[in-house]
């Protein structure tokens, strides 16, 4: 059996570990690259970001039931009984775990009741939420774009 003190054996272990780490990094880089090419709209391409936010507005209009209502996340069931999740973190808007818009400097969901009053602790008052709005600011080229939307829905 080879001894750990044998120079050739140590070299074999180091090379094996190095190849394993390199393969792991290469595999994950390929996965991240495929996500960025297939599903990611950089806000620098304003039309792509606008398309995603327009889609979000349409999905908010089809809310059947809200599961989670937080300033940077909403989880809801739409009228097709599909669970949808939108989350803002790391300057990126994510849909169902996939990044959809990057270079977003700020993004918030706002929840209002039937009279239009802002629900500060909406996660504790889900039954009172009558409308959802998002407010976003993202980079497009050398300028910042501000956009907002308010969507009322029937429960």
**Model pLDDT for residues 40-58, shown as the tens digit of each residue:** 554 445 567 888 888 888 8
Nearest alpha-carbon partner for 50 in 61, 60, 62, 42:
42
Residue pair 120/71 in contact by the 8 Å Cβ criterion: no
**What pTM did the predictor assign?**
0.67
**Model pLDDT for residues 88-114, shown as the tens digit of each residue:** 999 999 999 999 888 888 999 999 999
Residue 151 per-residue DSSP state: E
Strand order from edge to edge, sheet including 73-78: 41-42, 98-102, 92-95, 83-89, 73-78, 63-70
State the pLDDT at residue 44.
Answer: 42
* Average pLDDT, consecutive stretches of 10 residues, N- to C-terminus, the chain (155 residues): 60 60 48 42 61 87 91 94 95 92 89 88 82 85 76 61
Nearest alpha-carbon partner for 65 in 124, 23, 120, 126:
126
């Amino acid at each position: 059996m080879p001894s750990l003190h044998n120079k050739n054996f140590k070299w074999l272990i180091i090379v094996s570990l190095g190849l394993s780490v390199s393969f792991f990094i290469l595999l994950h880089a390929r996965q991240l690259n495929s996500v960025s090419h297939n599903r990611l709209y950089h806000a620098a391409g304003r039309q792509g970001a606008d398309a995603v936010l327009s889609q979000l507005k349409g999905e908010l209009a089809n809310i059947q039931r809200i599961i989670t209502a937080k300033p940077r996340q909403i989880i809801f069931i739409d009228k097709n009984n599909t669970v949808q999740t939108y989350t803002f973190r790391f300057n990126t808007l994510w849909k169902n775990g996939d990044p959809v818009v990057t270079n977003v400097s700020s993004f918030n969901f706002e929840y209002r009741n039937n009279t239009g009053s802002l629900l500060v602790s909406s996660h504790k008052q889900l039954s009172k939420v009558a409308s959802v709005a998002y407010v976003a600011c993202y980079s497009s080229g050398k300028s910042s774009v501000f956009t907002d939307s308010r969507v009322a829905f029937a429960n």
